[in-house]
Amino acid sequence: LLKDAERNKISVTAEEWKNIETQFKKQIEELRVVMELTPAVIDPKASAADRAKAAQLKVDQFFDAMTSGKVQLRMLPGMIAYALRGHEKFGVNQVGVKRAVDLAVAKAGDNPVPGMPGAIAPAPGPAPVPGGSGTP
């Protein structure tokens, strides 16, 4: 996208860039707080190795809580997601996905949790009338 913008001589004003930067920093800070990657946990006076271990522990704890449904899924800011996709190897293990689905179906059985994201519930009221005017 940026390469296309450069090719077409589209530029960002200083004010627009400042807004982008402010939003990015806000999103990063929100992630840091949610994941508890704060100076209270990550001691700035500790060695780089100790800070990395503490951060890794907090990230692991966050992902464990997220995958167990204890905390809400948080999307990565677009630029971080883009950078990780461009420089880090990733993939989806289809066998693992199938196993996760099988476990979830077995756990839910015939009675899925009400209000569960993705749960299907009948729409209220009668079925829509084909060819209707869109007004009741």
The pair of structure tokens assigned to 31 is 């992630």
Q: With b meaning 16 or more CB within 10 Å and e meaning fewer, what string describes 83-93?
A: eeeeeeeeeee
Determine the pLDDT at residue 118: 60
Q: What is the pLDDT along the chain (136 residues), one digit of tens a residue?
A: 778 888 888 888 899 989 988 988 888 888 888 888 888 788 888 888 998 899 899 989 988 888 888 888 777 777 777 777 777 777 888 999 999 888 888 887 766 666 666 656 677 888 777 765 555 5
pLDDT at 38: 84
